[in-house]
Each structure stands twice: as C-alpha cells, then as structure tokens.
Amino acid sequence: MAEAKYSQNGRGQIRVAFVGNPNCGKTTLFNAVTGSKLKVANWPGVTVEKKEGYAQYEDCDLTIVDTPGIYSLTCYTIEEKVTRQCVMDDEIDAIVNVVDASSLERNLYLTLQLLELGKPVVLALNMMDIVEERGMEIDLHRLPEMLGGIPVVSVSAAKRTGLGILLHAVVHHYEEGPAGNILTYGEELEAKIAKLEVMMQARFPLHSSVRWHAIKLLEYDEDVRREHPIDVTNVVDRSYEKDIIQAKYRYIETIVKEVLFHKEKKAAFTDKIDRMLTHPVWGVPIFLLIMCCVFFLTFTVGDFLKAGFEVALSFLSDEASALLTAMRCAPWLISLVVDGIIAGVGGILTFIPNIVILFFALALLEDSGYMSRVAYVMDGIMGKAGLSGKAFLPMVLGFGCTVPAIMATRALETERDRRKTMLITPFMSCSARLPIYVLFSEMFFPSHPSAAAFSMYAIGMIVAIVVALAIHGYEKGKINDSLLIELPEYKRPNGRTIGIYVWTKLKDYLEKAGTTIFIASIIIWFVLNFGIHGMVADPSDSFGAAIGRGLVPLLAPAGLGMWQIAVALISGISAKEVVVSSFAVLFGVVNANSQSGMQTIISHINAQNPGFGAVNAYALMVFCLLYVPCAATIATVRKESGSWRFTAKMAVFQLLLAWAAAVVVYQIGSRLF
Amino acid sequence: MTLYDGRIGADYEVRGVYVEEAVTRRLQALGINDGTTVKILNRKRKGAMIIQVRGTRLALGRHISSCIEVKEEA
C-alpha cells in the first residue's frame, strides 16, 4: 500500500505520467487537465522533450508529465526509451493510461504492459464520441473487472468532460495501491517467471516491479539484461518475446469480445475520404493542391488583413518620433528608436496575419489526421531518394518553422536517414522567409506577386528532393520501402488544440521579434550609422558598407552586387526575417511592407544600381530560400546530430548551393528577359 | 503468398512475419501476429499499401508487406 507523500503545508503530492499510443489524444487531455498552468521543460539527460504541468485535486498537488506516444514498452525507438525511462522512474507515483476507445484492441496492448509494472494505473478512455458515432458500445462495468479492478474513466479531451472524475480516480487509486496480476502466461512460462522473480529479488531486493523485469528478461530485452547482469541462461534458453506478445493479444481478444459490442458497423467515413486522398494516381496531385491552397490563403488573405497593421505601425512611428522630439532627445536616440527598432521590429510585425494563417492551415492538416497520409502518398517518391515516406513529415513541418521540423526527424528509424532529412529540411521554405518573398515579389512582380512567392515553395521542395536523390545516387543506396506508420481516423479538428498550436507559434514569432530581431536591428542600425570617424551622415561611409563591399565581387555574378544586399544577407543568418528588417533600416523605411515603403526601397536600389530588376530580385529570393539557415536552426541541427562537423558541412553546402542557384537564375534570366 | 501479392478489399490471415528483428517486434506490438486477420484497404500498384488490423489502419512499405506471409481467408 502506497502512502501519499505530504509536503510541508500538509498537501499530498503525486507525480502522474500520462502514457498512451500516438494519436490517442494524450496531449489534448494533458492541455485540458493542466490548463494554463503549463510549463514546458527540457529534461536533463534525455533528447526528447517531455512536458510537465500541474493540476490540483482536493488537497493534492499533482505534477503531470506528458510523455511521447508509444505502442509498447520495448526500447526500439527514441520515444519508447524516453517514455519507458520516465514511467520506470521511482519518481512517478501513478500512471494515467490514455486510451483511444475507438481502437481499443490495439491500445490495450500497452495497457497490459503498464499493468505489469506494478504501479497504480488509471485508464482514461478517450474518444468515446467516435465509439458512439460508429454505433459501438463499450461495457464500462466489465472492462475494469477484466483489467484487475483498476479505475476506468471515460473522458473527452476535446470537450473537457470527465476530467474531475479522472483526477479523483488518480488520487484515490494511488492511495489504494496497484492492482494485482491479471494475465498469466501458461504453466511453462509462469514457472520460468517465478524462478526469475526469485533470482531478481535475491540480487535486487529493493526492486519495485519484479514481475515486469522477470518478463522482460524472458523477452531478451537488451536494456533490462544490461542493467541486471544476472546469469539466467538455465531459465531463459531463448527469447520468449513472441510467446508473450501473443499471450497478451489473446487475452485482449477475450477482453474485446466481452466488452465491445456492434463492432465496425460504420467505420466507413474515414475509408471513403481515404479512397480519394490516398488514391494511387490522384494522391500526389491532391496533396500538392492542398499545399497550393494553404499558400494561396497565406498570401492573399494575409495581405488583405495586413492593412490594419500598417496603419497602426505608421501611427506608432510618427507618435514615437514626435514624442522623442518633444522630450528633446538626442538625434541619434531618435534615429535608433525610429529608424532602428521600429523599422526593424515593427516591419516584421506587419507579417503577423500571414504567419497566423500559415500556422492555422498547418495545424488543421495535422489535427485532422491528414499528415500521416502524406507519408503514404509521398512514400514512392521519397523511397527513390532512399528515404521512407515518413521523412516527408518533418519536411512539411518545415513550411512552418525549421527548428521543430529538425526535431521531428527523431521519428525516423536510422541516424543516416535523420541526417539526410536534416540536410534537406531547411530547403522547405519556412515562415521566416515568407516576409522576404512577400516584399520582393510585390516590389518587382506587381502583376503576379502570389505566383512569384509561391514558386519559391515549389523550388524549395524540388531542390530538397533533387538533393536527396543526388546523395542517394552518390551513395548508391537501395530504394527505401520500409514505411510503417499508423493512419489515424479522420476527425473534426479541435478548436482548442488548434488555438493553442497557433498561439504558441505566434508567441514564438513575437518573442523572436522582441529578442533576436530587436537586437539584430540595433546592431544593424549601429553598423550602418557609425564608421571609423563616429556617427556618419551617409551610410556608405559606415562599417556596414565596408564589410558589404568586401563581398560585392562574390555576389556580382548572381546580380546581387550591392553592399546593402551583402549586409542584409549576413544579418539574415540571425533570423531570416532580418533580411527585411535590414532593408528597412538600410533605406530608412519605417514600414517596408507598405506601398510607400516599397517605393522608397525600389528608388534607393535603382539609385545604386539602375539595372536591378525582376531577375535580380528573383535571384535574391532564391538565394534567401537556399542559403545557410538561421542561427536557431544551426544550433538545433548541432544538438540533434551531435556533430559540429556535420553541421558545418551542411552550412557550407547550403551556402554554395544557394550561390550557384542564384548565379544560374541571374545568368540565364538576364539573357532571356 | 505474401501480403504484397494481396488485393484491395480482401481479408488475409497472417502466417508468419519475417522482417528484421526490430521491425518484427514493432509489427507484433501493433498487433500483427501469427493468426491475425488483416484487410487490404488501398494500395499503390508497386509500392506501399494501407491495411486494417485490429480496428486500426497502417501504411506498410513494399519491403515489409512482402515479408509477411499470409493466407487468403474465405
């Protein structure tokens, strides 16, 4: 019997882990239970992020840990290792097993494994509404009986119902202690388990989950064998893993037979949609069409909405300037605030509508269940490049932001595939590059701005796939056709989940504007307004101009031979939006993303370089698309690959590729047009 | 026959799984064991397929589906 730990103020404290299959609504439930008390923590020593949050129930403080979704407690993937390590940890007092009730049979497999751990387990039955919609029924009385009397609570993560009952069950079941053993493996195996249990207890008397470890020894589990070096060869003559898995599934079949009624009356909805979306011929065109729609919405609707932001920004700029003048501030301070900070940061903020729409669309695709279909649809093309269709998922995420996309490569099976995917993911044009396209396509392609911007996304995708194909050809690798991914049921996207997703991304964007871009803008302002003789009146005498001029000969073959462009591109490494900020600061434009701002930039560029036209602008966009990713991405690649060598090679490769592509665009383009 | 040779809409009983060890374990954890019934929902002519097993859908690459021995169910 376990006793609640009491803190100094007399309140019980329980650490609860949320564990479940991928796509069972675990994170939605986690968000619903912990509400606003969410704290995202990077755990030390592990590579995959786990989230921690807090909830209260009566006189108990619950710390809730959200773990990566897993199918079983083996240790074949990073996610499994992390989750297993987390639930085995003595710090975890109780487990909430989140179960997708609409695929009970598969989900119960993990449940049976969790029960063997000997920790208190509470079953949270999620997605009961889908069960009802399908005309199925689950016997909520018989199910707990078959699982050894553990509490079974039906919850709806999306509608936020059953949450109080769930916490109540956790607190009380924790006080009661774990349920007994429910599944026996037949005489032969049980005899072996009993022997192993005795051996385990002799060597590790303080061990909490003896039976689970005994079973794992019988399964030849590598980690358990390494951590418990007992000689068991006389008991374990071979791996009994298959027998144990089959015994579990046999038991699950009896459970399902007893508790689930009217099976599969109408699971047809998902299948009907899938016949179109995963069609052998139309699957790829439909995916491309969907992405077209996403970007179309991002550009056109986003541009439509940004007018309001522009008005607000010019108002702010005028007011700030007037206020600072009235306060008799030094001209350099006024210049810093108005030409440096407001121009650099404010200009970036006018792109918020575009960013929000882009992330909203990506969230819809993720939450509806379409993303894993993309892996299936693109599997053939990716397979030829030696990658599984799964590698395409991080790439799609890369349209949003490259940093989480690089982290998402963890889902790939081998290190080799991961590195290859990390190398090509930055070519998928992220939202930070969007302001550059919007600005330059509207300035230089006034009749077809959306088409010019959209072509960047297409070029990025093509370059990514061509590079993967080239590496694959160079390595003479085999076709990869080992796709294995679950396709979840389609569901109505949950407003709250999408809201949280978009809000976190927007917050990241604002934070970036407030930190990286803010600092970068100040530095750019300084570099452009100061020279060796102090503050300069003409930027071409500044430090920035001196640095930029050094690079002009290199950029000239790409039609980008202007020191201003060199400065903008260098500063863009801090964050890609800064390319736009730099142009604003360079040419003293308060809002680059407005008609007058664009006119000023164009006239400045033309004053410097009368020949600068659409072809030069396109070469610049291509260069921005492909060149070294932002500092945050470089840091993430370093962390995820664990190698500076790889990271440096990647950056150099991308820089050379960007330069070569821009030169080709300019040289061919300027001869044609 | 192997699952790869199967056709859309038909049910098959798994007779054996002969992929790399790690993948076999994964498939077993997902419920693909000897005796399990799987149904082919959709497939590309020479490539991946979507199957239904134990009430869920999985996409399997050609390499995996051609390593699963099956028997067509009547």
Compute the distance between CA of residue A602 and CA of residue A573 in angstroms, rounded to an integer: 23
Proportion of chain A above pLDDT 70, given as a percent:
95
- Does residue A302 register a pLDDT over 90? no
Based on DSSP, count helices (H) and strands (E) in chain A, helices before strands.
Answer: 32, 13
Interface list for chain B against chain A, based on CB atoms closer than 8 Å = 22-23, 25-31, 33-34, 36, 41-45, 47-48, 50, 53-64
Asked whether residue A266 is domain-assigned, the answer is no
The burial class, CB within 10 Å (0-12 / 13-18 / 19+), for A588 is middle
pLDDT at A140: 92
Reported in sequence order, the residue ranges of A133-172 that DSSP labels E, i.e. its strands, are: 137-138, 152-154
pTM of the model: 0.81
Instruction: Answer yes or no: is pLDDT of A646 > 90.
Output: yes
In whole angstroms, what is the distance from residue A142 CA to residue A256 CA? 10
Q: In the predicted model, is pLDDT for residue B56 greater than 80?
A: yes
Tell me, yes or no, whether A323 and A231 share the same domain.
Answer: no
pLDDT higher than 70, residue A263: no
Stretch A294-318: mean pLDDT, rounded? Answer: 80
State the DSSP string of B39-60. Answer: EEEEE-TTS-EEEEETTEEEEE
**B59 with A109: Cβ contact below 8 A:** no
> Which pLDDT does position A10 carry in this prediction?
58
A278 assigned to some structural domain: no
- Rg (Cα) of chain B, in Å, rounded? 11
Helix then strand then coil, in percent of chain B rounded to 5, is 20, 40, 40
Is a pLDDT exceeding 50 seen at residue A561?
yes
C-beta neighbour count of A671 within 10 angstroms = 8
Q: How many CB pairs under 8 A join A and B?
A: 112
Residue with tokens 């049921």: A489
The answer to whether A135 touches A262, Cβ cutoff 8 Å, is: yes
Question: Does A29 have pLDDT greater than 60?
Answer: yes
> Is A312 in the same domain as A199?
no
pLDDT score of A650: 94
Q: Quick one: pLDDT band at residue A2, thresholds 50, 70, 90?
A: very low
CA pair distance A304, A576, nearest whole angstrom? 23
Residue A55 above 90 pLDDT? no
Report CB contact under 8 Å: A482, B61.
yes
Question: Minimal CA–CA distance to A607: which of A548, A555, A538, A659?
Answer: A538
Q: Which domain-ending residue is among A176, A199, A228?
A: A176
The answer to whether residues A399 and A419 belong to one domain is yes
pLDDT band at A54 (very low <50, low <70, confident <90, very high): confident
Q: A368-394 b/e with 16+ CB inside 10 Å = b?
A: bbbbbbbbbbbbbebbbbbbbbbbbbb
β-strand partners of A95 = A17, A121
Mean pLDDT of A379-395: 89
User: Both A214 and A326 in a single domain?
Assistant: no
**A75 plus A143 within the same structural domain:** yes
Residue A46 has pLDDT above 60, yes or no: no
Same-domain pairing of A165 and A212: no
Three-class secondary structure assignment of A29-45: HHHHHHCCCEEEECCCC
What domain range is B18 assigned to?
3-72
Measured CA to CA, the distance from residue A157 to residue B9 in angstroms comes to 34
- A43, A169: one domain: yes
pLDDT band at A43 (very low <50, low <70, confident <90, very high): very low
Predicted pLDDT of residue A40: 43
User: Which pLDDT value is given to residue A47?
Assistant: 39
Q: Is the ipTM of this complex over 0.95?
A: no
Distance from CA of B62 to the nearest CA of A (A): 5
pLDDT at residue number A177: 74
Decide if A225 is inside a domain.
Answer: yes
What CATH code is carried by the domain that includes residue B35? 2.30.30.90
Q: Are residues A421 and A463 in the same domain?
A: yes
Cα distance between residue A581 and residue B10, in whole Å: 59
Minimum distance, in Å, between the CA of residue B59 and any CA atom of chain A? 5
Residues near A220 by Cβ (< 8 Å), separated by ≥ 6? A236, A239, A240, A241
Per-residue pLDDT at A392 exceeds 50: yes
Judge whether A488 lies within some domain: no
Summarize pLDDT for A104-120 with one digit per residue, the tens.
999 999 999 999 888 89
Nearest by CB: B29 against A245, A383, A389: A245
Q: What is the DSSP letter of B1?
A: -
Whether residue A221 sits in one domain with residue A85 = no
The total domain count for chain B is 1
Mean pLDDT score across all residues of chain A: 84
Task: For residue A622, tell me if it sits in a domain.
Answer: yes
Token reading at A398: 């890369």
Give B60's contacts in chain A (Cβ within 8 Å): 483-484
Instruction: Give the whole-angstrom CA distance, residue A668 versus residue A618.
Output: 12
Last residue of a domain, one of A147, A176, A205: A176
Q: pLDDT at residue A123 above 90?
A: yes
Using DSSP bridges, classify how beta strands A94-100 and A12-20 pair: parallel, antiparallel or unpaired. parallel
Tokens of A448: 């077809």
User: B18 to chain A nearest CA, in Å?
Assistant: 13
- d(CA A290, CA B7) in angstroms, rounded, equals 29
pLDDT score at B58: 93
8 Å CB contact of A486 and B61 = no
Residue A3 has pLDDT above 50, yes or no: no
Identify the residue among B7, B44, B68 best suited for mutation to test binding to A, counting A beta carbons within 10 A and taking the highest. B44
- Number of domains observed in the structure of chain A: 3
Strands (E), A76-158: 94-100, 121-126, 137-138, 152-154
Tokens describing residue B20:
């790399």
- Nearest residue in A to B4, CA atom: A481
Q: What is the pLDDT of residues A126-142, one digit of tens each?
A: 988 878 877 888 999 99
For testing contact with chain A, the best of B19, B25, B45 (most A CBs within 10 A): B25
Q: Are residues A298 and A227 in the same domain?
A: no
Q: What's residue B60's pLDDT?
A: 94
Q: Does A349 lie in the same domain as A296?
A: yes
What average pLDDT does range A270-281 have in this prediction? 87
Segment A161-189 mean pLDDT? 85
pLDDT for the residue A330: 84
Whether A248 and A343 map to the same domain: the answer is no
pLDDT for A181 beyond 90: no
The sign one gets for the Cα dihedral A124, A130, A133, A137 is: negative
- In terms of residue numbers, what domain contains A432? 283-483+493-672
Question: Is pLDDT larger for residue A110 or for residue A220?
Answer: A110
Q: What percent of chain A has pLDDT over 90?
A: 23
Averaged pLDDT for residues A438-460: 89
